Amino acid sequence: MIIEDMIYLIHFRALADFIKSSLKLEIEMLFVDLEKDPPKMITQVEKSSAALELLSAQKLFASVFSADGLNSDPLQNHGIDLTANAGSSLSEPVTSTSSELIDLSCCLQISQVTVPTLNGWLLGYPVVYLFGKEHIDRAIYNLSTKSLHIFQIFICRGHTSSKESRQELMSFTVPFDLSSEGSNEPWAKAFLARMLRRWERCKHVWGSIHMEVSGCYPQAIVL
């Protein structure tokens, strides 16, 4: 799947299930409202205009991805030819075993959601930066002037645990003032617990998984 200059390798059924869970609020996701100075932590039920834009994107994804395959009708209703975007024929259903290229860059125009917000949701971050397209400069300033915590998830292949064998699976940042307890934050513990449950299904390949938290002083940031 492609969204502008980002490429996602997706498991079709898993993505469809993730989208469904997101809309049902089965997995807690917190937002950092970067339109506020200082940034404010808000929940999914606190509806801001930027949160509604993400919800619009989630509903669009839900209408396109399903357990049965890809449905291009919602995009065609917006005058978008998904066949042309993908560069391949969609006359056959796209399934979880397909290697089709799906270009969904159009969702940024249809929903008006910002790239960092959409990307944070798709990658499963427990805390997602939230701001509207008309407030990008303000969001950059508000984040650039704050110290951050960097949360990193590392995995090790096989049964080795040396630093040389570990690989970074994912990382995200949260303003220090909103994550003062680091890995002991309730949402951080819940997130790590979810990652451990996923690791259980593939621990024959990955020997271990753990979280590390480090600090980052204010610096110029590009969103």
pLDDT value at 85 more than 60: no
The CA-atom distances, in angstroms, between 182 and each of 125, 150, 179 are: 15, 9, 5
Q: What is the mean pLDDT of the chain?
A: 84
What is this structure's pTM?
0.84
| pLDDT-derived band at 220, boundaries 50, 70, 90 | low
| pLDDT-derived band at 195, boundaries 50, 70, 90 | very high
| pLDDT-derived band at 19, boundaries 50, 70, 90 | very high
Percent of the chain exceeding pLDDT 90 equals 52
The CA-atom distances, in angstroms, between 111 and each of 51, 66, 80, 148 are: 11, 19, 14, 29
pLDDT value at 201 more than 70: yes
Of 24-38, 77-91, 127-141, give the lowest mean pLDDT range. 77-91
Average pLDDT (24-41) is: 93
| 87 phi-psi bin (left φ>0, alpha ψ -120 to 50, beta other) | left
Of 10-14, 87-91, 164-168, give the lowest mean pLDDT range. 87-91
pLDDT of 86 reads 46
